[in-house]
Structure 1
Amino acid sequence: MDIQELNTEEYQVKYNNESRTISFVGSLRLSDLEETNPIVQLLNDVLTLEPDTITLNLRALKYLNSSGINMLSKFVIQVRRIKTVNLIVLASSEIPWQSKSLKNLQRLMPSLQLEVE
């Protein structure tokens, strides 16, 4: 799998195999499991590759509702259970929800690296 991508009018989620980065762009207003399933599948597919490090680049994600935060939290818990995968989350200090919500991911996985620019 070189690059896997999900594109809608509101958001894009893209995996880059070389950099082991999953990039989120736009606004994730997810209302139910049916809407989160394709993203969860992409995240799980990346985990099955068992890379040393996975980077979640959220710097271009302007909005994420509670369903999306819940989805990311579950992914962080999955990564924590594997124990061989490091997780880096790239965030933007200019997007208010990120500075408030992403620190909670470190509570779920203390070894998670949160890099806020």
Structure 2
Amino acid sequence: MADSGTKTADEDLITATGHPTHVHDFHQLLYAPLGRITVTTPDGEHELASPLALWLPAGTPHSARFDPESLVLAEPFDPAAHRLPFARATAIRLGDAARRQLLARTRG
């Protein structure tokens, strides 16, 4: 899925300050309940802080920078099981119920 200028997703590349450009074969919702993250996609830079999240369709090249005291939640979605709500990287304002549900998924 990646072109020659795009790195493949690799957990070893994610650091406390971010990660280089890579792609996923799954959709992803990125959310920072604490702090701020900046995600760069072909559509531009997306600055995320609560309550903003970012929908990334499968195959979207992206990199990220994390502020020092940020907490980043990355929720994957199987493209075969979930319809595509947006065809491009899209910022989404999360309501209270959606924020609580994402935070609850971090327990355990």
Answer yes or no: same fold by TM over 0.5.
no
**Is the strand fraction higher in 1 or 2?**
2
**Is the helix fraction higher in 1 or 2?**
1
Give the alignment's TM-score, normalised by structure 2: 0.26
Give the alignment's TM-score, normalised by structure 1: 0.25
Report 1 or 2 for greater relative contact order, CA contacts < 8 Å, sequence distance ≥ 6: 2
